[in-house]
């Protein structure tokens, strides 16, 4: 059945939700109740929307579309909009084929990617498709076909004077590092980018995310001292001029299909590692990279729990990056604790500056990881001989060159001046948890007198994230937790072990009282 209505701009944003409004008379006349999902065609554009019903927002014969839809599809008021109920769709057959366990051809995958971008298929059908990443899964050829299709239907940044010919003295490479996440602190990337940006032969267009399930995304941390949302043209010019930029990647929208997959999966709070790898590879290719390092931590409280799963994912990344012509180094490591001492935007930025300033209070593990990964990337490009990357990267850190480069990037992105780690503001209210409390909780006792000391074997990332979020991070950037003890340290009854920071007394009281919340933070032995 076909229905034709006239478009009306409701001039209100709904974000990523595609909603349309019809008058109650039309709802009853055409049998279209509230929350019906229908396909709308305007000229050559078709997309699915969820219907709402109103007596006043639109008149009979009109269909109200929110401003996001107008902006996305370039619509105008008064255009004819055809509403198609249960239209036949070839994509449905392809999704059904995959659900039943059959492999898809390159053309079929391309049609699915186009459907993701155009909203020409109902979200519920696309959700079925995304579920096939879990079962039956994709073989390597299907996965690579999907990466290439996502890239083909997106955009790619280009930078001047880049080359992959290592024999050229003036060769310039576009490099970056990406972590699959799971660890509680995000300090590695800003330090690594600052080190690599000291080399004129490298361009580092780094993009990062905001917190979704974590206490702070890298973008949230960087935003404490610089603007992370700058126009694309300025970003490209900055990278070409000073060698690097560090921005929030969500603003670029280079690969629309990956953002649609994130939107569809957002409410599920689970991700397929295949889908994660496909999205990362497509996004890195769209950034114009020639070389990339993938940080792949695994462990009980990381995203990847088992070493054998980390091995499989490592091989999968290597296959996909080779398929799109990017040289990759997968840094597989055991993640038994956050990389830094601070968890929360301001606390993590303080750790970063402690390392860049070479302050005695710096987290040594954070420094080691950043230097090691920077060294591996230097060796991957061929700029530094094998076995010498770590020493060379550390030299840039110790000399102060990396600190200077960090602030050059920050000032280019809106920072008004350089500040020291000691100038980073922390939340007004704080509370210290001492060793006697942690020892008692670990022993399952109310009195720690019989438990004089213990060694920290592990720090649970998920517990650290949960506590920091309960204290207000990342919405309150000055909130979070600070670890006074790290893996291998001895905890005695009188030692400071962890400090909680928050801007609200009520939050602090609730976290202090809820000992179940932090009793698993430290695994002792």
> Can you give 77-94 as a three-state secondary structure string?
CCCEEEEECCCCCHHHHH
pLDDT score recorded for residue 367? 98
- What is the rounded end-to-end Cα distance, in angstroms, of the chain? 69
**Coil/strand/helix, residue 399:** coil
Containing 32, the helix (H) or strand (E) segment is none
**Coil/strand/helix, residue 112:** helix
Joined together, the tokens standing for residue 467 give 């506590």
pLDDT score recorded for residue 168? 40
Counting every residue, how long is the chain? 525
Containing 476, the helix (H) or strand (E) segment is none
Cα angle 300, 304, 309 (rounded to 5 degrees) comes to 115
Q: Provide the sign of the torsion angle of the four alpha carbons 158, 164, 168, 172, taken in this order.
A: positive
pLDDT tens by residue, the chain, 525 residues: 468 999 999 988 877 678 899 999 999 988 888 888 788 888 878 888 889 999 999 999 999 998 888 888 888 899 999 887 655 578 888 999 999 999 999 999 999 999 888 877 777 788 888 889 988 999 999 999 999 999 999 999 998 766 544 444 455 899 999 999 889 999 999 999 999 999 999 999 999 988 877 899 999 999 999 999 999 999 999 999 999 999 998 888 899 998 888 877 766 666 688 999 999 999 999 999 999 999 999 999 888 999 999 999 999 999 999 999 999 999 999 999 999 999 999 999 999 999 999 999 999 999 999 999 999 999 999 999 999 999 999 999 999 999 999 999 999 999 999 999 999 999 999 999 999 999 988 766 444 445 689 999 999 999 999 999 999 999 999 999 999 999 999 999 999 999 999 999 999 999 999 998 888 999 998
Joined together, the tokens standing for residue 216 give 């702070």
**Composition of the chain by helix, strand, coil, percent to 5:** 40, 20, 40
Compute the distance between CA of residue 122 and CA of residue 124 in angstroms, rounded to an integer.
5
What contacts 124, CB < 8 A, 6 or more positions away?
A: 37
What contacts 480, CB < 8 A, 6 or more positions away?
A: 215, 216, 342, 343, 344, 345, 346, 347, 348, 427, 468, 471, 473, 501
Instruction: Give me the residues paired with residue 138 across strands.
Output: none
Rounded to two decimals, the pTM is: 0.84
**Coil/strand/helix, residue 53:** strand
| DSSP line for 122-184 | -HHHHHHHHHTTTTT---HHHHHHHHHHHHHTS-----TT----TT-TT--EEEEEEE---SS
- Domain extents for the chain? 2-84, 90-137, 173-251+270-419, 429-524
Joined together, the tokens standing for residue 195 give 């080190």
Domain 429-524, CATH class in plain words: alpha beta
Compute the distance between CA of residue 263 and CA of residue 283 in angstroms, rounded to an integer.
16
Does the bond joining 136 to the residue before it have cis omega, within 30 degrees of 0?
yes
Q: Provide the sign of the torsion angle of the four alpha carbons 118, 47, 54, 31, taken in this order.
A: negative
pLDDT score recorded for residue 348? 98
Joined together, the tokens standing for residue 30 give 């055409």
pLDDT score recorded for residue 267? 60
Q: Each residue of 465-512: pLDDT tens digit?
A: 999 999 999 999 999 999 999 999 999 999 999 999 999 999 999 999
Architecture in CATH of 2-84: Beta Barrel (2.40)
pLDDT score recorded for residue 270? 65
Compute the distance between CA of residue 390 and CA of residue 392 in angstroms, rounded to an integer.
5
From residue 490, how far is each of 453, 464, 497 by CA, in Å?
7, 19, 10
Domain 173-251+270-419, CATH class in plain words: alpha beta
**DSSP tag of 35:** T
E strand residue ranges, 194-243 = 202-208
CB burial of residue 277 (10 Å; 0-12, 13-18, 19+): buried
Compute the distance between CA of residue 245 and CA of residue 204 in angstroms, rounded to an integer.
7
What is the signed CA dihedral for 443, 445, 450, 454, rounded to 10 degrees? 30
Does the bond joining 90 to the residue before it have cis omega, within 30 degrees of 0?
no
What contacts 202, CB < 8 A, 6 or more positions away?
A: 172, 173, 174, 175, 196, 243, 381, 383
- From the list 98, 106, 180, the residue with the least C-alpha distance to 147 is 106
Domains 2-84 and 429-524 agree in fold = no
């Amino acid at each position: 059945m076909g229905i034709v209505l006239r478009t009306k701009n409701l001039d209100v944003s709904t974000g990523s939700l595609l909603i349309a409004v019809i008058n109650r008379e039309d709802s009853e006349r055409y049998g279209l109740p509230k929350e019906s999902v229908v396909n709308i065609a305007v000229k050559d554009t078709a997309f699915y929307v969820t219907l709402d019903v109103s007596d006043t927002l639109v008149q009979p014969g009109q269909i109200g579309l929110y401003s996001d839809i107008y902006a996305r599809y370039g619509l105008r008021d008064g255009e004819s909009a055809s509403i198609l109920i249960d239209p036949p769709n070839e994509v449905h057959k392809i999704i059904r084929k995959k659900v039943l366990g059959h492999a898809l051809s390159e053309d079929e995958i391309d049609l699915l990617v186009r459907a993701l971008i155009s909203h020409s298929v109902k979200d519920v059908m696309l959700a079925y498709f995304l579920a096939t990443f879990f079962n039956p899964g994709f073989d390597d050829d299907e996965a690579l076909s999907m990466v290439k299709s996502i890239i083909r239907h997106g955009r790619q940044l280009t930078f001047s004077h880049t080359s992959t010919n290592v024999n050229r003295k003036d060769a310039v490479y576009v490099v970056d590092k990406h972590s699959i996440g799971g660890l509680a602190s995000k300090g590695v990337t800003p330090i690594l980018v600052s080190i690599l940006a000291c080399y004129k032969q490298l361009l580092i267009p780094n993009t990062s995310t905001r917190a979704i399930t974590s206490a702070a995304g890298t973008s949230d941390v960087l935003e404490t001292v610089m603007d992370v949302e700058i126009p694309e043209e300025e970003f490209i010019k900055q990278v070409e001029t000073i060698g690097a930029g560090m921005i929030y990647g969500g603003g670029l929208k280079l690969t629309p299909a990956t953002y649609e997959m994130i939107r569809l999966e957002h409410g599920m709070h689970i991700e397929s590692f295949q889908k994660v790898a496909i999205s990362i590879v497509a996004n890195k290719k769209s950034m114009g990279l020639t070389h990339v390092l993938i940080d792949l931590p695994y462990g009980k409280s990381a995203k990847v729990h088992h070493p054998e799963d980390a091995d499989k994912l490592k091989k999968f990344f290597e296959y996909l990056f080779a398929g799109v012509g990017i040289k990759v180094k997968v840094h597989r490591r055991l993640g038994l604790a956050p990389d830094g001492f601070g968890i929360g935007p301001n606390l993590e930025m303080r750790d970063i500056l402690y390392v860049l300033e070479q302050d005695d209070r710096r987290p040594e593990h954070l420094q080691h990881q950043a230097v090691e990964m920077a060294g591996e990337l230097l060796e991957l490009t061929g700029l530094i001989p094998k076995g010498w990357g770590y020493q060379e990267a550390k030299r840039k850190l110790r000399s102060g060159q990396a600190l200077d480069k960090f602030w050059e990037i920050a000032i280019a992105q809106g920072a008004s001046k350089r500040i020291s780690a000691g100038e980073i503001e922390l939340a007004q209210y704080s509370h210290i948890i001492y060793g006697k409390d942690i020892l008692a909780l670990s022993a399952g006792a109310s009195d720690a007198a019989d438990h004089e000391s213990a060694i920290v074997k592990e720090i649970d990332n998920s517990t650290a994230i949960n506590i920091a979020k309960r204290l207000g991070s990342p919405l309150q950037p000055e909130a979070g937790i600070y670890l006074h003890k790290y893996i291998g340290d001895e905890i005695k009854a009188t030692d400071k072990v962890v400090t909680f920071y928050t801007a609200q007394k009520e939050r602090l009281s609730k976290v202090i009282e809820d000992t179940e919340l932090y009793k698993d933070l430290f695994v002792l032995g």
